[in-house]
Structure 1
């Protein structure tokens, strides 16, 4: 593959992706080779995967990469506007895992059925697969995924904490000794705070929505998660910037040396190796802390699903193209070259994965029992009210906040009110 893997990881972590402007879209109407427009976020080596699939198609169709804007909100807005206008130049869509329900509920994407669905289900990890379903039907093919890990300094903490209570206690002990002690993670009013809370809820055995996704329940586990989030925020172990922290500022703060622990995505490790090699030598990874000592955490997944537009002129070719783009070989290539963990479990056994992902066993362990964010076509509104109500975490009153969330989320589910 040319460039050594470690150097590639460092380059991916440090460099911004170059976004190719969207070209004029459209397929062939003159009987020539159909063009399959693939709308997807900017991924540095995606064109190589596309070239591989085009070669496999042997002239039956040609996939063209239509690069979406870098920001997730901008990506969604662009696709929603085109789909609402029934744009037939949209074929294969790269969706954030939280959008599948919304797009399926609006009838903007096609159900995966028959052999297409069977191929996607075969060997795909359960969490990513759950994120691709709507009303027990498959509407997308999980293409990549992700989970956060616990990163800890072995020069400060010989053994990683199993629970949040253990982590808070260890951090407080380090603070009393005048040593680096902070638990650094994302607490700003945005999706990252929702992810943090959702992981705590799932790890406590709780639920935000009912099983059918139509009722806001905020059960005992969800209330317990609110209590834990408040205790964490007020225990004197967070960074002063906790309530404003996003992923990359949290990464940089940990690299600065004040943190004993960091809860963040796997990309932080190669970035740390490149920017702070002395610190990186003392940093290891472990499973995200749980709520109870004898119950493993259930960590919220990220990632991208591939869907086929309801308005494509080439549904057969689009499903075939999507299957190729996310097959095991191409997922392995994307994992190694673009740092996106696979959704197909067998890919983790590939020998090349050991060097590219030294933490792959912990990633896979979390993925085998992962959690997903509330599955609802109204998720974007749910996320908005949750992030606003949970911020700042130090102001949470568990019972009162739970009651407020129940009302606000139920209103979001019923499309009541004007949400920010």
Structure 2
């Protein structure tokens, strides 16, 4: 839904407008380069991990681009900044300027609603959309859908598991074959000299944790996301207070790592590989991260994301990358064909083996190559976690909502029973233009 015409321009609108003229000029220049002969499709990608030593050929998304180039067109990649927020800003500015120099783009699921609502994305043909929906894990489909339509093509899907040291769980007397709660692992770590690693810096990763806690308690941050700034803010709920209880319990416990308030996906890796390592929640890359550390790998266990409320199945985080097609591309048909190739099951498998970023395709998990690279029970844990995931709301206003949550829930030490209400009030004020971030 578009903002009310009498409302002041939103922070997002102002951000998209900045630099539009420069972006348009850049796009016109880029378009001129492919005006004759075999077209070149430019695919803007998020950075991949570094290729391992001795790897030959194009790696990651660059490898996919090479494999998806045909006699009719060439696909080349252009790397975006490493930070997801900066990726969004760069793409949004250029797309707002109707830049035809972007043909394809790798999009974080949380930006799907914003880009679709703004009219930046070319529609996915109905036949292809139905094919993708039927062959893709349901959690990934949810993250690629806006207003009931699939608007981007899932390339890979990320989720978080609870990773643990098997020796520590045994010492603490936890049966990890059964669902465990946040309360259980925090107490087990506190009572046995261990730590619980999370992402609690003032950034998007912290909101990922908060959303998973709320979803796992049966709640949501907002409802009716398609209503845009008129969405119903529902973070002030029993589920919101359950989430705050978990965060407060960890922050006040001996299980909290010393850098809790600045922790992220990377900072938790070192402590986990020490004698105090007990539990971490983190993305699928963890297994490949420790594969050269034989001692840690031998003691590495995994299970489904912890329950917020005992007896209520958890809703693990969902991440990943979807492929969007620029509505103003000069080669929409070619870009659509390329997107279908890019997101094929074969390319998803190769990409997963190379980078550790797991497929969104159902069939990919039956691949012999993937089973050779990962234990079968781990692949099952990944796919079932993606299917059961609780995605962050797909809304054009996610950037504002996320920033408002970060402002009111950080630091973890400050979180209490009143935090959900304070954040609900602030989110509402930001969406209605009454307060600025």
TM-score range (shorter-chain normalised) is 0.7 to 0.9
Aligned position for 2:347: 330
| Local SS of the residue matching 1:386 | helix
- Structure 1 unmatched runs, 5+: 1-21, 176-180
- Once residues 45 and 111 of structure 1 are traced to their aligned partners in structure 2, the CA distance between those partners, rounded to angstroms, is 26
Aligned position for 1:386: 405
What is the Cα deviation at residue 397 of structure 1? 2.0
What is the Cα deviation at residue 223 of structure 1? 2.1
- Once residues 411 and 63 of structure 1 are traced to their aligned partners in structure 2, the CA distance between those partners, rounded to angstroms, is 44
Instruction: Say how many residue pairs are matched.
Output: 388
Q: CA RMSD in A?
A: 2.0
Aligned position for 2:40: 35
Does residue 351 in structure 1 map to residue 363 in structure 2? no
Aligned position for 2:245: 227
Does residue 362 in structure 1 map to residue 381 in structure 2? yes
Aligned position for 1:81: 93
| Local SS of the residue matching 1:299 | coil
Aligned position for 1:114: 126
The CA deviation string for residues 171-194 of structure 1, in whole angstroms up to 9 with x for no partner, is 23213xxxxx11122211111111
| Local SS of the residue matching 1:305 | strand
More off after superposition, 254-263 vs 197-206: 254-263
Does residue 171 in structure 1 map to residue 189 in structure 2? yes
The CA deviation string for residues 5-38 of structure 1, in whole angstroms up to 9 with x for no partner, is xxxxxxxxxxxxxxxxx99733666552222111
TM-score with structure 1 setting the length: 0.87
What is the Cα deviation at residue 103 of structure 1? 0.7
What is the Cα deviation at residue 293 of structure 1? 3.4
Match among 46, 49, 59 for residue 64 of structure 2:
49
- 1:263-302 alignment runs, 5 A limit: 263-274=281-292, 276-302=293-319
The CA deviation string for residues 160-180 of structure 1, in whole angstroms up to 9 with x for no partner, is 3611121122123213xxxxx
**Native 8 Å contact 1:154 1:283 kept in 2:** yes
- 1:62-141 alignment runs, 5 A limit: 62-141=74-153
**Native 8 Å contact 2:66 2:76 kept in 1:** no
- Shift of the 382–333 alpha-carbon distance from structure 1 to 2, 3 Å rule, reads same
- Once residues 412 and 268 of structure 1 are traced to their aligned partners in structure 2, the CA distance between those partners, rounded to angstroms, is 36
- 1:144-293 alignment runs, 5 A limit: 144-158=156-170, 159-160=175-176, 162-175=180-193, 181-213=194-226, 214-218=231-235, 219-274=237-292, 276-293=293-310
- Once residues 134 and 394 of structure 2 are traced to their aligned partners in structure 1, the CA distance between those partners, rounded to angstroms, is 22
- Shift of the 190–29 alpha-carbon distance from structure 1 to 2, 3 Å rule, reads closer
**Native 8 Å contact 1:27 1:35 kept in 2:** no
- Shift of the 187–327 alpha-carbon distance from structure 1 to 2, 3 Å rule, reads same
**Native 8 Å contact 2:42 2:101 kept in 1:** yes
| Local SS of the residue matching 2:98 | coil
- Once residues 102 and 347 of structure 2 are traced to their aligned partners in structure 1, the CA distance between those partners, rounded to angstroms, is 22
- Once residues 342 and 206 of structure 1 are traced to their aligned partners in structure 2, the CA distance between those partners, rounded to angstroms, is 27
The CA deviation string for residues 344-375 of structure 1, in whole angstroms up to 9 with x for no partner, is 11111112212322221111111111111122
| Local SS of the residue matching 2:135 | coil
What is the Cα deviation at residue 342 of structure 1? 0.5
**Native 8 Å contact 1:125 1:345 kept in 2:** yes
What is the Cα deviation at residue 119 of structure 1? 2.3
- Once residues 191 and 169 of structure 2 are traced to their aligned partners in structure 1, the CA distance between those partners, rounded to angstroms, is 11
| Local SS of the residue matching 2:281 | strand
What is the Cα deviation at residue 297 of structure 1? 1.1
More off after superposition, 91-100 vs 210-219: 210-219
What is the Cα deviation at residue 122 of structure 1? 2.1
The CA deviation string for residues 275-314 of structure 1, in whole angstroms up to 9 with x for no partner, is x422332121111111233332111111111111121111
